[in-house]
Structure 1
Amino acid sequence: MRSPMSGHRDFTPSIADRLTKAAMTASGALPGRLIQLAAGAPRRIDGQALDPHFQAGLRVMSRLSEGEYEDMPLAQARRTVERSAFTVSGDGIDLAVVKDLVLPLAGDDPARADLPARLYSPVHGDEPLPMLIFFHGGGWVLGSIDSHDATCRYIARTGGLKVLSVDYRMAPEFLFPTAVDDAVASFRYVRDNAATLGVDPERIAVGGDSAGGNLAAVVCQQTRDAGEKTPAFQLLFVPATNMSARTRSFELFGEGFFLTAKNMDFYENTYLRSDDDRLDPRASPLLAEDFSGLPPAHVATGGFDPLRDEGEAYARKLADAGVKVSLRRHETLVHPFVNAVGAAPAARAALSEAVGALRMGLAY
């Protein structure tokens, strides 16, 4: 059996990191009108006003920045993402169970691998609860189960369900479609072993942010196309859905709002094998020919996000095909707001709203 890669990046927070986190957490508890005094006049684009907590946070991050991810050595870029996520993660959220495990997916297939994962549960024991299988963001290149730990804890506690965060293999070590294959295999494993995992087999959802939202959407398409039992729900935060074209939101928000157009170029060029992959629905799920028969969905986009328009286009395609879908544009937020639960009340509100949609979709 092949050894799984580590689910942890090479990052240990320094005293300065801990002080930054404490300051961000404290500011995240303050009302927006006070933060606005420090953030300055709100930035307004496309009829939207940037949330003051995010405006102030972007100012802080720019001063602490080590540069752009695409200009760093890969190891440094990965550490920087972990540091950024740590500083906005807030106070720890205690749960009954937070357990690292390994999904035994390799079998006899040399192209497969056992994958690290982290299980979150609000209860002890094997009570069959609903489950969200979560795929982290980071452009298929950066991020980890650690960078999204606070997000998954928040969802598990607020939603009263189990969350399984999967550390799928990433580029450039593993190119497209490896991450897709890992995501599909992870869902199949949970679906086929629900009783052992203490999971309600009729209430298994998939979700993720950005690249993770992309993977969750593709899992739904791939299992439907294979004639299999699909996820019961898809929870898509700021999903990347189309690598074949750029939208107006790239022009409006491609610089200065955390995720940049150059970041996306770097991620896609690192992840894909060639430009031909951009037209593959496993990379660009918006290009799928058929949207019927897919699971119900909640799609949450950020108003100040280059990926805003393609995420919303995906929701409209689902709706046009008769799929039950709720689309919510959080006009004041940037990409990826789901990580900032400790630093911005609006991020917490958006995540709580999405969890409510998940509960409605899974009917529990």
Structure 2
Amino acid sequence: MPVVLDPDAAAVFAAFQAANRPPYESVSPTVAREFYLAGRPVSNPEPPELESAKPLSIPAPLGAIPARIYAPKTLRKSNGLAPCLVFFHGGGWVIGDLDSHDVVCRKLAHEGELIVISVDYRLAPEHKFPAAADDAIAATKWIAANATTLGIDAAQLIVGGDSAGGNLAAVVALAARDGDGPKIAGQVLIYPATDFAMSHPSHREPETSILLTHSVIKWFCNHYLTGTADIDNWKASPARAKSLAGLPPSYVMTAGADPLRDEGDEYAARLKQAGVPVAYRHFPGQFHGFFTMGKLLPQANVALTEIAGWLKALK
């Protein structure tokens, strides 16, 4: 499928190429994490002022999971309790942390007028599959069990994330539907990774290999998965779940220049076919990762405002 970048996205990509930074797959995971975090100030929009942003420690069987809880100045409440978005950051299950996605979580809390809890799940290759998925499920269960103490309405618990984080949000929603977790009110899947088979056309098209390149995806996968047998496991590939029926209302976003485009599109279509209410949004002229680049890409702010509106309308 031909991809034509929006002018601003093309300018960002040109600047990225001119910087000549070594690709992630040519360095160690530790160095890749440093590169990823160092690039954030260049692209992060101005963060809104919040009521609070505090560290949170979530007990888990294999050790506490760090998290951060954000409360906006204007908070939608019912009987003193507010809706909550449990957010999982992107980064291929290898890079990214609470700080890399701090600004986007602040903006989601501010514009969505809800509590956001960002979860710092364990990363690969130090902790391979299913560590990240297990942490995401455990964290969501703990948040639900402690909802009232946290000021959260457990009936309005939403999960979401970008890229690998969208994968984890989809996994949490599936687990919860099948009894391993609380009832989930909605899921926000921002260019999610849904199928490790990587067999869709967008995984082969040269036009999609921008920032998130075909080669770096393989690097992420090799670090995260323990072997090819994991590909068919729905905890790794939510698209491999036998059914998507009974999942919560879903917002699914894809980008045109993205190897994950087709699997995200297909997942949204399958959700609809399964009777799930779906809001599907495609940004044809943007690349994978644009959502967190609000300083440079106006469409990132458009997308975030749309998601905030969807969250507000969720019943």
Which bin holds the TM-score, normalised by the shorter protein? over 0.9
Name 1:210's counterpart in structure 2: 163
Name 1:184's counterpart in structure 2: 137
Name 1:36's counterpart in structure 2: none
Change (3 A) 1:287 1:137: same
Is the CA contact (8 Å cut-off) linking 1:88 and 1:341 kept in structure 2? Answer: yes
Name 1:226's counterpart in structure 2: 179
Return the match for 2:63 from 100, 113, 117: 113
- The CA distance in 2 between the partners of 1:334 and 1:124, in whole Å, is 32
Name 2:51's counterpart in structure 1: 96
Name 1:260's counterpart in structure 2: 213
Name 1:164's counterpart in structure 2: 117
- By how many angstroms is 1:256 displaced? 4.7
Is the CA contact (8 Å cut-off) linking 2:208 and 2:258 kept in structure 1? Answer: no
3-state DSSP class of the match of 1:329?
Answer: strand
The aligned amino acid for 2:295 is G
- The CA distance in 2 between the partners of 1:113 and 1:51, in whole Å, is 44
Name 2:152's counterpart in structure 1: 199
- Using the size of structure 2 for normalisation, the TM-score is 0.95
Name 1:272's counterpart in structure 2: 225
Change (3 A) 1:254 1:144: farther
- By how many angstroms is 1:227 displaced? 6.3
Q: Which runs of 5+ in 1 are unaligned?
A: 1-44, 107-111
- By how many angstroms is 1:263 displaced? 0.9
- By how many angstroms is 1:132 displaced? 0.3
3-state DSSP class of the match of 1:123?
Answer: coil
The aligned amino acid for 1:341 is G
For residues 15-164 of structure 1, what are the structure 2 equivalents within 5 Å?
46=2, 48-106=3-61, 112-123=62-73, 127-164=80-117
Is the CA contact (8 Å cut-off) linking 1:298 and 1:358 kept in structure 2? Answer: no
Is the CA contact (8 Å cut-off) linking 1:253 and 1:304 kept in structure 2? Answer: no
- By how many angstroms is 1:356 displaced? 1.4
Return the match for 1:246 from 195, 199, 202: 199
Return the match for 1:321 from 262, 266, 274: 274
Instruction: Please list every run of at least 4 consecutive aligned residues from structure 1 whose deviation after the TM superposition is greater than 4 angstroms.
Output: 124-127, 253-256
Is the CA contact (8 Å cut-off) linking 1:119 and 1:164 kept in structure 2? Answer: yes
When the two chains are superposed, the root-mean-square deviation of aligned CA atoms in Å is 1.7
- By how many angstroms is 1:85 displaced? 2.1
Percent identity at matched positions?
Answer: 39
The aligned amino acid for 1:58 is F
Change (3 A) 1:265 1:102: same
Change (3 A) 1:124 1:302: closer
The aligned amino acid for 2:109 is A
- The CA distance in 2 between the partners of 1:324 and 1:104, in whole Å, is 33
Q: Say whether 1:345 aligns with 2:295.
A: no
Q: Which runs of 5+ in 2 are unaligned?
A: none
- Using the size of structure 1 for normalisation, the TM-score is 0.82
The aligned amino acid for 2:290 is F
For residues 283-362 of structure 1, what are the structure 2 equivalents within 5 Å?
283-361=236-314
Is the CA contact (8 Å cut-off) linking 1:194 and 1:200 kept in structure 2? Answer: yes
Q: Deviations over 1:322-353 (max 9, x none)?
A: 11111111111111122112211111001111
Segment of structure 1 superposing worse, 49-58 or 261-270: 49-58
Q: Deviations over 1:140-171 (max 9, x none)?
A: 00111111111111111111111000000010
